[in-house]
Structure 1
């Protein structure tokens, strides 16, 4: 149940970012199936590729006091766009889009938090 809820939240967050920010958008005519597939690919990229790149870029991240993590998040969004119906206009747009995606996901996770724990607060 949590996997499905996480996937739905990610898909809604991607869709919201595509509506809020013109630098990240879906190809015209994209349906919900493609949006959910994009969220699934983003989850896979974050689970498989991000840890490796995070480890390789650790010195840069330390030197920039963690700010390079924003660039790394943008790269993950850009990489997702290479394989899905998602379009990103450039690396700067990907970084801004990833930042917005984090904020929207955070808000949606606050809303859906009680659903994940069966209605109980921890």
Structure 2
């Protein structure tokens, strides 16, 4: 349960960092980021999973790069449901998805390092 809560908080922090780095990607507050992370996670587990299955051949051909397009679409979809979370264009969503993936990879690495100690 604590691990799930930590992942949720780190996802919200990652969204805040992305909003500072990517132009056109905006998150108002930490509370908004927490709600956006929850909505993005739920949409990614449902709609995102379905899209990833449907686009699997394209994902294989592009060596996984197309997953950024799917994640960008899910991010834009989430921004439609969360007030205070705005993505101006698909380009901003794409670069936001790329930076978000890198940050989440970094956070997983750091969490794994602290668990081994």
TM-score, structure 1 length as denominator?
Answer: 0.83
Give me the CA root mean square deviation: 1.8
Q: Deviations over 1:37-67 (max 9, x none)?
A: 1110111111111111111122332343432
Look at both structures and tell me which one has the larger radius of gyration over its CA atoms: 1
Match of 1:21 in 2: 22
- Paired position in structure 2 for 1:8: 9
Aligned to 1:89: 88
Report the 3-state secondary structure (helix = DSSP H, G, I; strand = E; otherwise coil) of the residue aligned with 1:49.
Answer: helix
Find runs of 4+ consecutive structure 1 residues off by over 4 angstroms: none
Alignment of 1:11-90 (within 5 A): 11-26=12-27, 30-84=28-82, 85-90=84-89
Aligned length: 115
Q: Tell me, which stretches of 5 or more residues in structure 1 are unaligned?
A: none
